[in-house]
Amino acid sequence: MIKKASFLVSNTDHTKCPTPNKPEFAFIGRSNVGKSSLINMLTNNKSLAKTSGRPGKTQLINHFVIDERWYMVDLPGYGFAKVSKSIKGDWDKMIKGYLTSRENLEVTFVLIDSRLEPQKNDLEFILWCAENGVTIVLIFTKADKQSKTKTLANVYAFIKATQEIYEEAPLYFVTSAEDKQGRDEVLEFVGAVTED
Ligand code: GTP
Ligand code: MG
């Protein structure tokens, strides 16, 4: 369980992010997949990260400090159809710069909507992570929205698709910000990585 979570700072430039003196875990994925909601669920704080029903809410690299021990980072999503080419270019520069340069970044959680069949932009992003040495763990979100059977079918289809990218399928969790499914598992994983 997390005892204390506080917002620290927002940035567009990874070089201005907090001193990299604590292990860091970032949350990325399509706009609206539930990154900010997951951060609130994990920290048990409904208003820590800003969420919205409309995609494109998170626009910056947002650092939160957890129990004075590790950083949690909320990132803006990709794949939001309405943004212009130049904004897409800005996103690429900001996020890909951050993911490849942040020296204390232990794991990037890539969030996938558990309601959907494998999506091209998720697989493309994961391929980019593989090619750039970005360590990922998958989190399938919104599991409360459909039956367990349907969730598992989508999870397995996605894992199967990633096996064409990674020889070994990436580790994954299934979560719901609504009913807190997966919270203990994700936090246990973070605990195990930070205790190394
Ligand atoms: P951007 O910041 O725009 O990239 O989006 P985001 O990925 O941070 O998504 P956000 O957390 O703002 O959630 C988007 C919408 O999905 C909101 O309406 C949330 O209430 C809803 N949502 C997120 N997670 C869940 C979940 O686990 N279950 C359900 N039912 N709804 C969820
Ligand atoms: Mg967000």
What tens digit of pLDDT does each residue of 128-153 get?
Answer: 999 999 999 999 999 999 999 999 99
Ligand nearest to the CA of residue 28, numbered in listed order: 1
In angstroms, the CA 195 to CA 62 distance is 24
* Sign, Cα dihedral of 84, 33, 24, 45: positive
Residue 139 CA, ligand 1 centroid: distance in Å: 13
CB-ligand 1 contact for 35 (6 Å cutoff): yes
Mean pLDDT, the chain, integer: 94
CB-ligand 1 contact for 31 (6 Å cutoff): yes
60: pLDDT strictly greater than 80: yes
pLDDT band at 196 (very low <50, low <70, confident <90, very high): low
Domain ranges of the chain: 5-194
Tell the CATH topology of 5-194. Rossmann fold (3.40.50)
Ligand 1 mutation target, pool 31, 37, 61, most atoms within 8 A of CB: 37
Going across the sheet that includes 5-11, the strands are 5-11, 61-66, 70-74, 24-29, 105-113, 136-141, 172-174
84: pLDDT strictly greater than 80: no
pLDDT score recorded for residue 140: 98
